[in-house]
Amino acid sequence: MKRFAGVLLSVTSLPSKYGIGCFDQAAYDFVDWLEKAGQKYWQILPLGSTSHGGAYDSPYQAYSAFAGNPYFISLDALIKEGVLTEEECASAEFGNDPEKVDYELLSRNRLPLLHKAYERSEIYKNKDFKKFCADNFWWLDDYALFMSVRSYFGDKGGQQWPEDIRMHYGPALDYYGEMLYFDVEFQKYMQFKFYEQWSALKKYANDKHIEIVGDIPIYVSPDGTDVWAQPELFQLDENNQMVNVAGCPPDNFAVDGQVWGNPLYNWEYHKKTGYHWWVTRLWYSFKLYDVVRIDHFRGFDEYFSIPAASGKAKDGHWEDGPGMDLFKTLERELGERKFIAEDLGLMTDGVRKLVKDSGFPNMKVLQFAWNVADTTGVNEYLPHNFGRNNVVYTGTHDNETVAGWYAGLTAEGKEQIRDYIDDHHTDDADMYKKMIRMAMMCASETCIVPLQDWAGLDNSARMNTPGTVDKNWCWRMKTDLTTDELCKEVLVMTMRFNRANWAAIDAVKKASEEDETAEIESEKEEKEKHAGVIQID
């Protein structure tokens, strides 16, 4: 029976001297750590290009369903290429807190460095760059122009542009494309470097038998390339203004519901085109990731529609989504692929049926398992109710850390958990380990634990609080968090519950033996050399 484990960590949360985690040595070191810890998966958050200038950049509000975030480009790699200097990068201000991303400073100081690299790169001579542009013109041309025009108009949203370019008229595209030629090329350069560096990192992980679990938001940004360039895909009026927007009704995260503001899909149009845009989006996603987690999976069964004019969740209602028609099309066009269905939130029989019919593993989050008002044991998030075809988490990026969550429970809530595992002796401070143990030992085929939970961090390390717009997506790990001691602890528990990635473990063992043999041979040669010198004397 195949059972595996993985760790959830956003790329942004990796340590870096340049203000945000990226595709530099720290990312490669983390892959090495995962390999030694016997993990199979590294789950990340979306890699999309987020707002440049916002105080808190949400990875679920990207400028494109296809473009990557330039913040992830390794400056050290550009230094090695000779297009930046160490002094230039060291002198840029990125903030003084190694455990927090300062997005405002990044937008002011990181992008100018990338522009310097572009100016010095002579990219027009690069055959790989030309091939990248030719292979990806179908999304890259519109994205690069969109970002350039947005910058030209002082980072104003597309709805505030002059009508001709706002409506994506051909003559306007030609006019701005020619006027902003070098800005457009700069945007393409950043996407090329993103793809080049990410592809190298992913290959490194795959070569070490680690698979990447990517994450794609169901919706796109209202101020993004997709809506601007292909308005027919969405519920817009004749002026390309949103008619209805996405959100959700009241739930445990937000008592008044949430208005996300994303444009809703024109599913009738998508169906007529054979879901071409979705097929293309998923095809491209599987170039970047080995497994794709689809956020807000229930939106494919039913989606919550809020009138744009109202902007209040209480005025919303449910509409039918594409259901299995979409996923049958995806399987026919792409073959069998690895998905994870994020089916959290309000569950209905329709959603349960869609998850079952798709065959995709869904998500189980232990923090949802206990309710002091419910002692019947039928809660679907209790471990004894799990089947195999799901992925269990102690928590996700939207939850408190498990240590912070447990610390905030009432005495009755804590007692309920202790009764469940028959443990009334473990200190409260160590109960996070019991929660991880519960997740690892359950029947779920895959168990993924956020790095914050493995380290027992409190809620200061929380990634996101749904329904809020500040202080999110900022947490970064200290350089000494992934210690050998923690690695051993993760490996021992992973092996204990038959989740070890033996291909990775065997590779580490083989490499260690080869290093030991090489060291012995080196010492032997030194001794022989030394003996020879003495003999000659």
The residues annotated as belonging to the active site are 295, 342, 398
- Residues in contact with 78: Cβ distance below 8 Å, sequence separation at least 6, in sequence order: 84, 113, 114, 117, 193
Q: Is 81 helix (H, G, I), strand (E, B) or coil?
A: helix
Q: What are phi and psi of 172, to 5 degrees?
A: -70, -40
Residue bearing tokens 């083989």: 510
Is residue 386 within 8 A of residue 348, CB to CB? The reply is no
3-state secondary structure 126-191: CHHHHHHHHHCHHHHHHHHHHHHHHHHCCCCCHHHCCHHHHCCCHHHHHHHHHHCHHHHHHHHHHH
What residues are paired with 5 via a beta bridge?
447
The Cα–Cα gap between 14 and 463 comes to 13
Residue bearing tokens 């990192």: 201
CA R_g for the chain? 25
Starting at the earlier edge strand, list the strands of the sheet with 244-248: 258-263, 244-248, 302-307, 317-320
The Cα–Cα gap between 124 and 206 comes to 31
Q: What are phi and psi of 406, to 5 degrees?
A: -65, -40
Residue bearing tokens 């075809």: 389
Give the largest CA-CA distance in the chain.
Answer: 96
The continuous run of DSSP H or E covering 515 comes out as: helix 502-536
Q: Where are the alpha helices (DSSP H) in 442-501?
A: 451-454, 484-496
- Residues in contact with 514: Cβ distance below 8 Å, sequence separation at least 6, in sequence order: none
Residue 383's alpha-carbon distances to 287, 370, 380, 533, in angstroms, are: 34, 11, 8, 68
Residue 93's alpha-carbon distances to 27, 107, 348, 512, in angstroms, are: 22, 11, 49, 40
Measured at the CA of 239, the angle between CA 238 and CA 245, to 5 degrees, comes to 90
One-letter amino acid at 363 equals M
Query: Residue 346 is encoded by which pair of tokens?
Result: 């309000």
Q: What are phi and psi of 409, to 5 degrees?
A: -75, 155
